[in-house]
């Protein structure tokens, strides 16, 4: 396989993985970013985010000189420029593409004649056409734009780069499409070659579907609670169905957060509305999600007889377990709502040292000390390992709101806790023992 000269523009969470991954696929990679501190850190082999395996891979690529990070790149030397900048939402849900167009302008200055701009950022369908028009207007009609959406999961970014479920390459011409697909030779995954709009829509459709399963699960969990049904068993039975799948996002919680699902569902709704189409299913998904935090706050308010002056400990602060990313975290949204009603909120998360607007005392016991209630926001081993008797001894009151089903409610009830789950009688086995 031929080594290509690749420029990665924007080496944040996605760009860093892309740069390291392409270097490990034996390409000659340069990463640039407008954030000088980030460039310096990566060039020194340091990685802030909690991504298993990525730091070691970064360091080995730097050692082999397959990868370097710099504030800028020499003009004219690159075959491919990957755009990995952010596409954040504007207030109406429309993605803000200013960083993307600035990065494309930079690509136009650094690509060799006939080179290819690869959009890796999540972009609304039709963006590739707009970028090509902008490049033409800038006198670089020789360049082409190919979209290769990124589907990786935060916290498993390196694993997902090396073993993705699929690679989607969307281009206007076959030759360019093949050239970009060849960059990923060495990864064993199905490659879907398609037109650019299909590739652009593929990412939004995947995230809309994932978000929909989250909202569906939350509604089913609410119904299970009303009926006294066991949500654990309920979701296990759903995931056991091969048409649904073991890794489906089926489980209760505070709703979907993070950098992608909220902004991408809003963007898709915007994209459809701009073409006169209402996506009713997607709108319901977003609405159900929006209500989760308020429901949790209302439960705590009622259970505590008001939130004013109460101390509440929140366990799990990142937008999901296994990552340090706080962007659009539902746990932080709940903390903010509780604080707005006069509660003092403390937080603990093993991967997060500090979080905006919330006191993080640094240890689990310190977060629980004197608390009137506990909110479990993450389903994680460290939460499951928490001893309810030790928690009861530390806390002022024994009250727990467990959003994801992260604790053994029977054990916590036995330790004197009131929880948000209604507990059924255990099933008696044929031999008379309890199950
Ligand atoms: N985070 C995820 O899990 C994930 C997954 C799939 C897709 N995406 C998509 O990838 C894109 C990037 O997301 P992210 O989480 O990596 O964002 P990020 O904010 O972590 O990284 C973006 C980086 O781009 C840099 N940048 C901005 N403008 C620049 C410019 N003109 N030139 C050079 N650098 C510039 C910023 O300084 C920053 O370091 C978004 O469109 C996002 O939707 C993210």
Cα 118 to middle of ligand 1, angstroms: 14
**What pLDDT sits at residue 121?**
98
Closest residue to atom 3 of ligand 1, CA basis: 154
Q: Tell me: the pLDDT tens digits for 185-209?
A: 999 999 999 999 999 999 999 999 9
Cα 325 to middle of ligand 1, angstroms: 13
Q: Tell me: the pLDDT tens digits for 143-154?
A: 999 999 999 999
* % of residues, the chain, pLDDT over 70: 97
**What is the chain's length?**
435
> Distance between CA atoms of 287 and 279, rounded to whole angstroms?
12
**Cβ–ligand 1 contact at 325 (below 6 Å):** no
**Cβ–ligand 1 contact at 38 (below 6 Å):** yes
Mean pLDDT, the chain, whole residue set: 95
> Distance between CA atoms of 164 and 181, rounded to whole angstroms?
14
**Cβ–ligand 1 contact at 7 (below 6 Å):** no
CA atoms within 13 A on the CB side of 350: 9
Closest residue to atom 26 of ligand 1, CA basis: 10
**Cβ–ligand 1 contact at 33 (below 6 Å):** yes
* Beta carbons within 8 Å of 124's beta carbon, 6+ residues apart: 94, 95, 97, 200, 204, 267, 270, 271
Q: State the catalytic residues.
A: 260
What separation in angstroms does the CA of 306 have from each of 253, 297, 343, 377, 379?
A: 23, 10, 9, 21, 27
Tokens of 364: 């689990």
> Distance between CA atoms of 16 and 12, rounded to whole angstroms?
6
Cα 188 to middle of ligand 1, angstroms: 25
What's the pLDDT band for 421 if we cut at 50, 70, 90?
confident
What's the pLDDT band for 435 if we cut at 50, 70, 90?
very low
- Token pair 């760009």: residue: 15
Q: Residue 95: which of 111, 116, 119, 117 has the closest Cα?
A: 119
In the chain, % helix, strand, coil (3-state, to 5) comes to 40, 15, 40
Residue 334 near residue 377 (C-beta atoms within 8 A): yes
Task: State whether residue 244 is helix, strand or coil.
Answer: coil
**What pLDDT sits at residue 425?**
59
Q: Residue 97: which of 68, 62, 123 has the closest Cα?
A: 123
**What pLDDT sits at residue 43?**
98
- Other CB atoms closer than 10 Å to residue 70's CB: what's the count? 15
Q: Quick check: 430 pLDDT over 60? A: no
**Cβ–ligand 1 contact at 123 (below 6 Å):** no
b/e code 31-67 from CB counts within 10 Å (16+ = b): bbbeeeebbebbbeeebebbbeebbebbbebbeeebb
Cα 396 to middle of ligand 1, angstroms: 43
Residue 141 near residue 308 (C-beta atoms within 8 A): no
Q: Which domains does the chain have, with CATH numbers?
A: 5-194 (3.40.50.720), 209-419 (3.40.50.720)
- Other CB atoms closer than 10 Å to residue 364's CB: what's the count? 20
**Cβ–ligand 1 contact at 259 (below 6 Å):** yes
Q: Tell me: the pLDDT tens digits for 322-381?
A: 999 999 999 999 999 999 999 999 999 999 999 998 999 999 999 999 999 999 999 999
**Cβ–ligand 1 contact at 10 (below 6 Å):** yes
Cα 18 to middle of ligand 1, angstroms: 11
Q: Quick check: 318 pLDDT over 80? A: yes
Our mutation pick for probing the ligand 1 site, out of 14, 166, 263, counting the most ligand atoms within 8 A of Cβ, is 14
Edge-to-edge strands of the sheet including 67-70? 67-70, 28-32, 5-9, 78-83, 111-119, 144-147, 167-170, 191-194
* % of residues, the chain, pLDDT over 90: 94
**Cβ–ligand 1 contact at 32 (below 6 Å):** yes
What's the pLDDT band for 423 if we cut at 50, 70, 90?
low
Cα 117 to middle of ligand 1, angstroms: 16
- Other CB atoms closer than 10 Å to residue 165's CB: what's the count? 10
User: Measured between alpha carbons, how far apart are the two ends of the chain, in Å?
Assistant: 57
Backbone angles phi, psi at 121, to 5 degrees: -60, 155
Q: Residue 26: which of 159, 185, 188 has the closest Cα?
A: 185
Q: Tell me: the pLDDT tens digits for 163-184?
A: 999 999 999 999 999 999 999 9
H helix intervals, 44-173: 54-63, 98-110, 127-137, 157-162
What separation in angstroms does the CA of 140 have from each of 112, 116, 144?
A: 10, 11, 9
Our mutation pick for probing the ligand 1 site, out of 84, 101, 117, 120, counting the most ligand atoms within 8 A of Cβ, is 84
What's the pLDDT band for 431 if we cut at 50, 70, 90?
low
Cα 11 to middle of ligand 1, angstroms: 7
Closest residue to atom 15 of ligand 1, CA basis: 13
Mean pLDDT, residues 215-239: 94
Residue 35 near residue 42 (C-beta atoms within 8 A): no
Mean pLDDT, residues 132-136: 97
* Geometric angle at alpha carbon 401, from 400 and 407, rounded to 5°: 75
**Cβ–ligand 1 contact at 328 (below 6 Å):** no
For the chain, give the longest Cα–Cα distance: 81
**Cβ–ligand 1 contact at 84 (below 6 Å):** yes
**What pLDDT sits at residue 200?**
98
């Amino acid at each position: 396989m031929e080594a290509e000269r690749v420029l990665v523009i924007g080496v944040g969470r996605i760009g860093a993985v892309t740069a390291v991954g392409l270097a490990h696929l034996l390409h000659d990679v340069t990463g640039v970013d407008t954030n000088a501190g980030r460039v310096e850190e990566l060039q020194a082999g340091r990685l802030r985010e909690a991504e298993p395996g990525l730091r070691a891979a970064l360091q080995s690529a730097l050692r082999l000189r397959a990868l370097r990070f710099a504030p800028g790149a020499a003009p004219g030397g690159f075959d491919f420029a990957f755009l990995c900048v952010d596409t954040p939402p504007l207030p109406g849900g429309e993605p803000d593409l200013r960083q993307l167009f600035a990065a494309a302008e930079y690509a136009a200055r650094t690509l060799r004649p006939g080179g290819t701009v690869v959009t890796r950022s999540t972009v609304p369908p039709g963006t590739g056409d707009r970028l090509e028009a902008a490049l033409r207007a800038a006198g670089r009609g020789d360049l082409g734009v190919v979209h290769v959406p990124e589907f990786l999961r935060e916290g498993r970014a390196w694993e997902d780069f090396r073993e993705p479920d699929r690679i989607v390459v969307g281009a206007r011409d076959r030759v360019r499409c093949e050239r970009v697909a060849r960059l990923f030779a060495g990864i064993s995954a199905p490659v879907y070659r398609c037109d650019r709009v299909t590739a652009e829509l593929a990412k939004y459709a995947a995230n809309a579907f994932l978000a929909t399963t989250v909202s569906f699960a939350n509604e089913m969990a609410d119904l299970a609670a009303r009926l006294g049904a066991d949500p654990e068993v309920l979701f296990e039975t759903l995931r056991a169905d091969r048409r649904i799948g073991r890794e489906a996002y089926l489980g209760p919680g505070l709703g979907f957060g993070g950098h992608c699902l909220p902004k991408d569902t809003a963007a898709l709704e915007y994209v459809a509305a701009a073409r006169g189409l209402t996506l009713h299913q997607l709108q319901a998904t977003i609405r159900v999600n929006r209500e989760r935090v308020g429901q949790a706050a209302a439960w705590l308010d009622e259970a505590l007889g008001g939130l004013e002056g109460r101390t509440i400990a929140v366990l799990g602060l990142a937008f999901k377990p296994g990552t340090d990313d706080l962007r659009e975290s539902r746990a932080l949204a709940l903390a903010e709502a509780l604080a707005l009603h006069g509660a003092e909120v403390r937080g603990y998360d093993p991967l997060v040292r500090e979080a905006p607007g919330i006191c993080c005392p640094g240890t689990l016991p310190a977060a629980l000390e004197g608390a009137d209630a506990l909110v479990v926001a993450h389903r994680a081993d460290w939460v499951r390992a928490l001893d309810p008797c030790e928690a009861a001894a530390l806390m002022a009151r024994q009250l727990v709101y467990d959003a994801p089903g992260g604790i053994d409610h029977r054990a916590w009830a036995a330790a004197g806790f009131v929880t948000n789950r209604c507990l059924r009688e255990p099933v008696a086995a044929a031999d008379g023992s309890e199950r």
